[in-house]
Amino acid sequence: MGVTIGEALKTKFFTGYHLIAGEKGLDREIQAVSLFDAPDGYKWVKGKEFMLSSGYLFKDNVELFREAILFLYKQNSTCIAVKKDRYLGEVPKEIIDLCNELGFPLINVPNNVAWIDIINAVNSIVMNRYITHIIDRKNADKLVLRSDNFHKKIEKTIICLSEELKYPISIVDILEKEVFTYPKEQPFLKDNISFSKEDDFSFNYQKEILCDKLNIYRIKNIEDSNKCPFVIIPIVIKGVTVSKLIVWEHSGKIDYYDLFVLRLSYTLLLEVYEQIYLMNSFERRFYDDLIRALINGELDSKQNLIKAISNIQDFKLNIENNFICVCIKQDEGNPSFYNDREKISTTFLLNIPKDKSIFGILDDNTIILLYDVKGYNKDVIKNVKKDFEGIFKEIKNNFPDREIKLGIGDMVEDICSIKKSYVGSLKAVDIGSYIYTDGEMITFEDLGPFGLLRLESIQRKDFGNNFSHISPLLEEPDSDELISTLKVYLESESNCNIAAKKLFIHSNTVRYRIGKIQQICNIDLEDPIERLKVEITLKFINSLK
């Protein structure tokens, strides 16, 4: 971004400085300040430096003075400033003529000025200009910037930064899956935008670290040199990358002052994103009550629901769409989900767009999500299950020592009827845990006729006399052996030989045990209805124990 030498000389600090020659070059830009007093020190420049020298090297050496000016001009340095009265006395006329001809400013520095003061002054001029730019923009639009429309604040910061740096800037919102770029319609953006919190590009690239503390880095496409390189600054809240600030280096690499301004802009953006994060934290707590009211039937009409959500600023669900309830449940005795709300909400926010779902913590062990299934023309349940595979895996990784299951209810066409889907999702977890002992993601659809069982009885483990025909087995001293044999026998399609191989016993032993079981329980396993009743009972045998 820099500042021109002409702008710098007009400031209060440079009042005592005198332009000796090169007035045509006052529009040359300063992007760094460099000092040299070694005979070849001027040769180590990159361009756009405000070059400082005591002038001692050039005393009685006009040829070196000329050589240095020509080299610095060729390297696109900004100017050269010397303490003329310290060693030179008078600047040779041919040097003045050369600087005027090139339009390369030659400046006299007062003797009593320290080099560090000049460096600090130039840095301050550049930074103050950007800060003034931001303040002026804020004052020009106080209504917006004082409101709680955080996204407008972000956009205005990006516009201000782009205008100052003169580079296109993008902000990639990972949570919202949105991109804002200024100026718009940049042709080089299409293949480079990634909503992943990690680097996930479709090309081979080189990564150059520019600032390790803030993790500022440059990405360069090594497959296609014509592709625009770009600089990324991740914006991180509580250890989670929520957004990425991108500078597109379409006209050359950013410089020292650009990086300084980027750091300042990062601080401004970080503050806004922290406010967004705080707001979301409060709103997520409100969703607990909202979802509880929906599944309890308290919000039984769209009119009541609209009234309930009117105070939520960032509510993005379209309540006219179809929804499914997803239940995530852990075993009792674990630490409460309330204690880990931030960890849970971060997982959902990073993986599910806010216009797709809301979630709430129903109790210590239960999380409920209302999931928008618009766009799934067929295989709705299958698609929802696929959507949650990665999310559920991440939840389980967050709580590796807990037994957690996920249940998916049926679709409802009216969000105010979500209770039906909620009950189905609970049954999927509670009943499915008996039927699919190794299953972790179960749908109500998977239950089949088991879905007709009363949820209250399953949750209370109150089966009454429904399974009384098998209960005598539990009183036998070898009940575990008998039950194990019965399970394997039925799984083996009532074939004693196959069951014996699975149990590593003789087939006559299987026949003996099956006979004993039929006698104790007074059942006939040749009767298909009786056999079906026993198979169902065995799914819940642990509860009977």
Where among 123, 153, 169 does a domain terminate? 123
Residue 486 has pLDDT above 80, yes or no: yes
Between β-strands 106-108 and 79-82, what pairing exists: parallel, antiparallel or unpaired?
parallel
Kindly state whether residues 221 and 152 are assigned to the same domain: yes
Is the pTM higher than 0.85? The answer reads: no
Is residue 128 in a domain?
no
Burial profile 431-457: b = 16 or more Cβ within 10 angstroms, e = fewer: bbbbbbeeeebbbbbbbeebbebeeee
By the 8 A CB rule, do 280 and 184 touch? no
Residue 356 has pLDDT above 60, yes or no: yes
Kindly state whether residues 57 and 160 are assigned to the same domain: no
Residue 483 has pLDDT above 90, yes or no: no
Kindly state whether residues 540 and 436 are assigned to the same domain: no
Give the pLDDT confidence of 489-545 residue by residue, as tens digits: 888 888 899 988 988 999 899 898 888 888 888 888 888 877 777 777 777 766 555
Give the pLDDT confidence of 304-330 residue by residue, as tens digits: 898 888 877 778 889 999 999 999 999
Kindly state whether residues 481 and 449 are assigned to the same domain: no
Where among 123, 149, 175 does a domain terminate? 123
Kindly state whether residues 246 and 372 are assigned to the same domain: no
Is residue 411 in a domain?
yes
- Mean pLDDT computed over 70-86: 93
CA angle 162, 51, 39 (to 5 degrees): 145
Is residue 223 in a domain?
yes
- Mean pLDDT computed over 102-118: 93
Range from 42-46, 206-210, 237-241, 481-485 carrying the lowest mean pLDDT: 237-241
Count of other CB atoms within 10 angstroms of residue 402: 15
What is the pLDDT, as a whole number, of residue 417?
92
Kindly state whether residues 243 and 344 are assigned to the same domain: no
What is the pLDDT, as a whole number, of residue 312?
75
User: Which CATH number is 199's domain given?
Assistant: 3.30.450.40
Is residue 301 in a domain?
no
Kindly state whether residues 324 and 454 are assigned to the same domain: yes
What is the per-residue DSSP string for 437-501? TT-SEEEHHHHGGGGGS-HHHHHHT--TTTTTTTGGGGGSTTHHHHHHHHHHHHHTTT-HHHHHH
What is the pLDDT, as a whole number, of residue 543?
55
- Mean pLDDT computed over 13-30: 92
Kindly state whether residues 193 and 109 are assigned to the same domain: no
Range from 130-144, 293-307, 405-419, 519-533 carrying the lowest mean pLDDT: 130-144
Is residue 184 in a domain?
yes
Give the pLDDT confidence of 376-396 residue by residue, as tens digits: 878 899 999 999 999 999 999
Kindly state whether residues 352 and 269 are assigned to the same domain: no
Percent of the chain residues past pLDDT 70, beyond the cut:
88
What is the per-residue DSSP string for 489-517? HHHTTT-HHHHHHHHTS-HHHHHHHHHHH
Kindly state whether residues 188 and 254 are assigned to the same domain: yes
By the 8 A CB rule, do 485 and 499 touch? yes
- Mean pLDDT computed over 140-144: 46
Give the DSSP H/E element, type plus range, for residue 172: strand 169-173
What is the pLDDT, as a whole number, of residue 144?
42
Kindly state whether residues 260 and 352 are assigned to the same domain: no
| Side chain identity at residue 281, one-letter code | S
Give 368's pLDDT tier (boundaries 50, 70, 90).
Answer: very high
What is the pLDDT, as a whole number, of residue 147?
43
Kindly state whether residues 177 and 271 are assigned to the same domain: yes
Give 81's pLDDT tier (boundaries 50, 70, 90).
Answer: very high
What is the pLDDT, as a whole number, of residue 135?
63
Number of domains in the chain: 4
Give the pLDDT confidence of 449-477 residue by residue, as tens digits: 777 776 665 555 555 555 566 778 878 88
Is residue 309 in a domain?
no
What is the average pLDDT value for the chain, to the nearest integer? 85
Q: Which domain holds residue 501?
A: 471-544
- Mean pLDDT computed over 210-226: 88
What is the pLDDT, as a whole number, of residue 145?
42
User: Which CATH number is 519's domain given?
Assistant: 1.10.10.2840
Where among 97, 123, 149 does a domain terminate? 123
